[in-house]
Amino acid sequence: IGPEVIDIRKLYGQTGKFTYDPGFLSTASCNSAITYIDGDKGELLYRGYPIEQLAVNCDFLETCHLLLYGELPNSDQKSEFVNRVTHHTMVNEQMHFFLRGFRRDAHPMAVMTGLVGALSAFYHDSTDINNPEHRDIAAIRLIAKMPTLVSMAYKYSVGQPFIYPKNDLSYAGNFMRMMFATPCEDFHVSPVIERALDRIFILHADHEQNASTSTVRLCGSSGTNPFAAIAAGVACLWGPAHGGANEAALNMLEDIQRRGGVEKIGEFITQVKDKNSGIKLMGFGHRVYKNYDPRAKLMRETCHEVLNELGLHNDPLFKLAMALEKIALEDDYFVARKLYPNVDFYSGIVQRAIGIPVSLFTAIFALARTVGWIAQLNEMIADPEYKIGRPRQLFSGAAPRQVKPIGER
């Protein structure tokens, strides 16, 4: 507890008083040692390491090890961790039949919510949330199986056969193959694209107590199994104010492009500033960052690299996004409210360039965030102070009254 933090339990615990803080604007729900954000400076650290260094020097599985176990792995630890993860990339064959019950045009996040929750029906040796070994194996299984599940959801939606994991490939390379290979053709992915996808995973791996992570913690606090808790996180992430923003940001850019592109930005911004329009600049603003989101900077760089690699450096949407960013950052409305691009502003352009359909963007986010969700869940369960989450309320409903028989109502 730092000098500016009031421990409300000690202050009010015995008095029956409580605080009112809708949206948790100034209430810490837990004590965590995983991720640190300084929103004013635009800083993000995983276990003390700046995101900029992790994105350049580490791969996603090293980052997973860091988030889960607190330290970056040495080479032996990395080999062991990679072996453990790749050992679990397959899913029970019955999951294929479960998936086949969905409509082919179902939203991938609807499918993912179901598939992730359904894992608890298959892996009974990892469902006891109070058993550290169960939690550990559930963590490995979830990290390993998410790419398989996301790619299965995609293949099902386009009517192509599922591609099984190939475990001598990297995490990102394997995912790309399961997404885009067909059984009758050789498949190759460029190292630049593979690295870009891996970087997207690193940048999305954790972000302290955001809505979906808090959902996972609250759900897990009842003692439910880890797969159910992560499925709750997937469901929460789906919303456009959270993980769904990458899809919404790309749709917004495409909409402006259809209206006439760069020349129509001014008109669009005027609409955004009109509160009655209900339109927001998607991919802008953040509850914690009141400065440039450091992930957005890295994502913009990655966007450059990917578009150059694919010969798309004149991509009109990228140009539009950069022009929109510049205009917004000079506009009084955005300046006064400290609204900057967040990670979702550029991630959609990268993903679209590498062939990922827009409707799958949030599922990719869920794939990457899974490790953060599990690390946070494990931290909560292992905390001796942990209790079932049970927010209080301010009641503003009817005063006590009597039920009348139905004929008299």
Q: Of 49-57, 186-194, 227-235, 236-244, which part binds ligand ACO (CB under 6 A)?
A: 236-244
171 or 284: whose CB is closer to ligand ACO?
284
Estimate the share of the chain in helix, then strand, then coil, as percent rounded to the nearest 5. 60, 5, 40
Residue 235 found at the interface with ligand ACO (CB under 6 A): no
Residue 258 CB-half CA count within 13 A: 6
Instruction: Identify the sign of the CA torsion 229, 232, 234, 240.
Output: negative
Looking at 107, 134, 217, 286, which residue binds ligand ACO (CB under 6 A)?
286
List the interface residues with ligand ACO, window 19-48 (CB under 6 A): none
Which of 108, 283, 294, 372 touches ligand ACO by CB under 6 A? 283
Question: What residues are paired with 50 via a beta bridge?
Answer: 45
Output the smallest distance, CB 139 to ligand ACO, in A: 22
Of the candidate residues 285, 294, 348, 372, the single one contacting ligand ACO (CB under 6 A):
285
Q: Considering the rule CB under 6 A, would residue 379 count as an interface residue with ligand ACO?
A: no
Nearest to 64 by CA among 76, 82, 52: 82
Which 3 state secondary structure label does DSSP give 35? strand
Q: Catalogue the active-site residues.
A: 286, 344
Q: Do 243 and 362 contact (CB within 8 A), yes or no?
A: yes
Residue 290 binds ligand ACO, judged by CB under 6 A: no
Q: Which CB atom, from 126 or from 246, has the smaller least distance to ligand ACO?
A: 246
Instruction: Give the chain's end-to-end CA distance (angstroms, integer).
Output: 54
Does position 226 bind ligand ACO by CB under 6 A? no
Residue with smaller CB distance to ligand ACO, 135 or 297: 297
Q: Which residue is nearest to ligand ACO (CB)?
A: 285
Q: What mask, x for binding ligand ACO by CB under 6 A, covers residues 254 to 273? A: ------------------x-
Q: At 15, which helix (H) or strand (E)?
A: none
Strand partners, 284: 341
Query: Closest separation between CB of residue 310 and ligand ACO, Å?
Result: 25
The distance of closest approach from Cβ of residue 288 to ligand ACO in the complex, given in angstroms and rounded to an integer, is 8
84 counts as binding ligand ACO under rule CB under 6 A: no
Structure tokens at 138: 């559930």
For 300-353, the DSSP string reads HHHHHHHHHHTT-TT-HHHHHHHHHHHHHHTSHHHHHTT--B-THHHHHHHHHH
281 near ligand ACO, judged by CB under 6 A: yes
The interface region with ligand ACO, picked from 43-51, 173-181, 277-285, 297-305 by CB under 6 A, is 277-285
Residue with tokens 């100034």: 26
Q: Which of 80, 132, 337, 391 binds ligand ACO (CB under 6 A)?
A: 337
Under 8 Å CB-to-CB from 343, ≥6 apart: which residues?
203, 204, 246, 293, 295, 296, 299
Query: What is the spatial distance between Cα 198 and Cα 340, in angstroms, rounded to a whole number?
Result: 24
Please choose, out of 122-130, 145-153, 214-222, 237-245, the segment that lies near ligand ACO by the rule CB under 6 A: 237-245
Which residues lie near ligand ACO (CB under 6 A)? 241-243, 245, 272, 280-287, 337, 339, 342-344
